[in-house]
Structure 1
């Protein structure tokens, strides 16, 4: 039972990470799409150079983030498959869980 709880916790963390990666991917695409607008707001050449550097990093990240999202989704599918094929045998625990929970009050 402990192994399945650890797997559930890992799946929860992975699902939150996939959602966060999707939000970051969306924001990076918005940044790349509006790069000329952002560059036109600054006159300092060092700031423009830094923004161009960040644009290059964002373009590289738009290649890596979808790959990471797909890998995370595959791990989710694998973990869910394990949980579906290996259910917790509640009838073999030797106790009635309803009376156990109600006696804790």
Structure 2
């Protein structure tokens, strides 16, 4: 299954901000490790919108719980809102239906 993830925290709960204030936080190399995925979740794409402290990701996994576990371990669920939405691959579906490239726009 493919999932679209939106994860957002605020300025105060931002570990980067906390680090700049001299607070004890995990190193960035650990905080950002989620973008590599794991044995159960493949990260297809990961994008940040730093101005709004927001991340977007497209991931593939067999189970929603595995996606939740990845983002929970990364601290996203603790720091703010995380939305996990199962989505369809519209390009693959169009090709599956035999409609790809057959109709002019």
**TM-score band w.r.t. shorter chain:** under 0.3
Higher helix share goes to which structure? 1
Q: TM-score of the superposition, structure 2-length normalised?
A: 0.24
Larger Rg: 1
Q: TM-score of the superposition, structure 1-length normalised?
A: 0.24
Higher strand share goes to which structure? 2
